[in-house]
């Protein structure tokens, strides 16, 4: 019997959900929805400060041909029922064409959304800060990833503060100095939020990474604005709001199972996942209400947790 709950029973990022989306190419189901919830919460803080937040087209692009399945099969020949035709009419069979070849207004790219922060009294000026939530196709060495990094650099050169949110542990971070989690390193973090402040210039600017692990709340991050103003934003609250309101946990997460591609977490995070799942199972068996119960991770050693994980596979 599956164990499900509307609220996220992990601290911070839910590893089941993010493993599922990376394994099954479902990131687009989350990306723009999370941007929407985040911008709503940011605006509530920013408006009294004299700033505003808007949803903008991301620097990243998701190509339609990267979807898990094609939109529709393509036939080479169009077959029509011609029984109504005059028997003397010639039968002509013409090959079909890709729809975008016939219609010149179809875009082969679907943009993600990003968040731009502006001064309320100067909404038409360049953004004060820009916030990106990374997608799988814009990490690594692919062409889209290279284009994204070039656009990121151009935006930094314009003087805008840049915030990069990376909730994708199965591809290396865009910052080599933060370590490669995909190598299995116990020191590397699976997820990061990085704040880049290029002022007064790129050479003198500073970057502040916020790394975190499985079952740890997403950090509260300080985003510098203008003239000493700062937005102190709780990214964990925005994530949990998205998770709960979208009810992802009721259809996509089963706490009786290990996450998809469990082996792509390092051993420390594997142990954290098993400790949390063990506690959830115990709470369920005791009759606790999973929507309200305070569930503490089980006190397992690393060896005990990994041994349990091997039994569950």
The structural domain count of the chain equals 1
pTM listed for this prediction: 0.83
Q: Is residue 260 part of a domain?
A: no
292 within some domain? no
Measure Cα distances from 200 to 130, 197, 205, 226, 276 in Å: 17, 8, 6, 12, 45
Domain membership flag for residue 41: yes
133 in a domain, yes or no? yes
Strands 161-166 and 129-133, bridge-based pairing: parallel
Residue 165 in any domain: the answer is yes
In the 8-state DSSP scheme, what is residue 79? -
Residue by residue, pLDDT tens for the chain (313 residues) are 899 999 999 999 999 999 999 998 889 889 999 999 999 999 999 999 999 999 988 877 443 334 333 333 332 222 222 333 444 444 445 566 665 555 554 444 456 889 999 999 987 888 999 999 999 888 888 888 899 999 999 999 999 999 999 999 999 999 989 999 999 999 999 999 999 999 999 999 999 999 999 999 999 999 999 999 999 999 999 999 999 999 999 999 999 999 999 999 999 999 999 999 999 999 999 999 999 999 999 888 888 888 888 877 6
Do the domain assignments include residue 9? no
* Long-range contact set of residues 308-311: C-beta below 8 Å, sequence gap at least 24: 308/274, 308/278, 309/258, 309/262, 309/270, 309/271, 309/273, 309/274
In a domain, 191, yes or no: yes
d(CA 55, CA 155): 16
End-to-end CA distance of the chain: 16
Q: Is position 310 within any domain?
A: no
**Where in the sequence is the domain holding 133, given as residue range(s)?**
15-62+102-252
Spatial CB neighbours of 90, under 8 Å, sequence gap ≥ 6: none
């Amino acid at each position: 019997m599956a164990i499900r709950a509307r609220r996220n029973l992990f601290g911070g990022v839910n590893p089941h959900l993010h493993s599922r989306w990376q394994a099954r190419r479902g990131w687009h189901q989350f990306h723009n929805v999370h941007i929407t919830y985040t911008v709503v919460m940011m605006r509530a803080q920013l408006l009294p400060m004299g700033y505003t937040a808007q949803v903008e087209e991301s620097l990243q692009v998701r190509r339609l041909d990267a979807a898990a399945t094609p939109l529709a099969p393509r036939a080479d020949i169009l077959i029509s029922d011609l029984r109504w035709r005059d028997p003397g009419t010639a039968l002509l069979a013409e090959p079909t064409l890709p729809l975008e070849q016939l219609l010149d207004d179809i875009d082969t790219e679907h943009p993600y959304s990003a968040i731009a922060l502006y001064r309320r009294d100067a909404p038409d000026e360049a953004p004060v800060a820009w916030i990106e939530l990374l997608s799988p196709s814009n990490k690594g060495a692919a062409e889209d990833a290279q284009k994204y990094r070039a656009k990121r650099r151009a935006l930094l050169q314009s003087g805008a503060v840049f915030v990069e949110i990376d909730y994708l542990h199965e591809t290396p971070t865009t910052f080599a100095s933060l370590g490669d989690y995909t190598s299995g390193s116990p020191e590397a973090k699976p997820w990061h939020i990085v704040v880049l402040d290029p002022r007064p210039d790129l050479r003198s600017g500073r970057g502040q990474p916020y790394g975190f692990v499985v079952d740890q709340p997403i950090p509260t991050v300080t985003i510098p604005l203008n003239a000493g103003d700062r937005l102190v934003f709780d990214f964990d609250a925005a994530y949990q709001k998205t998770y709960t309101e979208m009810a992802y946990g009721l259809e996509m997460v089963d706490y009786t199972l290990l996450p998809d591609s469990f082996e792509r977490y390092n051993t420390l995070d594997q142990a954290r996942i098993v400790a949390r799942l063990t506690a959830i199972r115990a709470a369920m068996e005791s009759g606790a209400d999973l929507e309200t119960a305070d569930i503490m991770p089980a006190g397992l050693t690393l060896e005990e947790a990994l041994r349990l994980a091997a039994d569950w596979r």
